[in-house]
Amino acid sequence: MKGVILAGGTGSRLYPLTKVTNKHLLPVGKKPMIYYPIEKLLEIGIHHILIVTGTEHMGAVVNLLGSGKDFGCAFTYKVQDEAGGIAQALSLAENFSGGSPLTVILGDNLFEDGLSSLTERFLRDQKGEGARIALKEVPDPHRFGVATLEGDRVVKIVEKPKEPESRWAVTGVYVYDAQVFDLIRTLKPSARGELEITDVNNAYIQMGRLGYEFLQGWWTDAGTFDSLAHANTLVAGGTP
């Protein structure tokens, strides 16, 4: 299995900090934000990691991370020339994957749990096929993709619903088999002109091949000033 960290986007909600650097290089606690997803992948033995980011700050990302030698891993880099959505960014990983399953993390998502259960159950229970996502119960589900559960199945995911059917947010960590790239090629842009990862996950649902589990510890994104401050509190051991 290989890892992908999606670290693109304009970071407009963190302007003017993101005028000078990629948001994933901003400090959270005593480390750059992007160190946290890297560490989660290394913890489960993933040592081939693709970093996808935009053109504006690619140089800064490479200068910080280098080849991966300092982390005991190997980094590969891909440029997302323009914001085309999470699924479009993931499509850039096709050659890198070489047919291997991928653990994908959104670079501005921080979470307490390790990923061993997510990846081990994907390989054991799903035999390395389909997709697997992590869900977290949240007080404000309208901000996220929201999963509707029936029994032990996810039956649909709705992106930022005005009237959520549940409080189960789809977090920014996913496991996919190699079929994900074929599915991305079938997508049409959403109303905001992007290829949506929610549409990818719903395609797996339609095939009956989407597994899930719940995050037990804290989880936050760090894409706004409020959530960045909250992330700093959490990594320092504060109250979720």
Report pLDDT for 147: 98
Domains, the chain: 2-234 (3.90.550.10)
Closest to 157 (Cα-Cα) out of 200, 202, 192, 196: 202
Confidence at 38, pLDDT banded by 50, 70, 90: very high
pLDDT one-digit tens code per residue, 114-154: 999 999 999 999 999 999 999 999 999 998 999 999 988 99
d(CA 236, CA 70): 24
pLDDT one-digit tens code per residue, 56-69: 889 999 999 999 99
d(CA 154, CA 201): 10
The three-state secondary structure class of 236 is coil
pLDDT one-digit tens code per residue, 4-34: 999 988 778 889 888 888 999 999 999 999 9
Report pLDDT for 73: 98
Report pLDDT for 48: 99
Report pLDDT for 51: 98
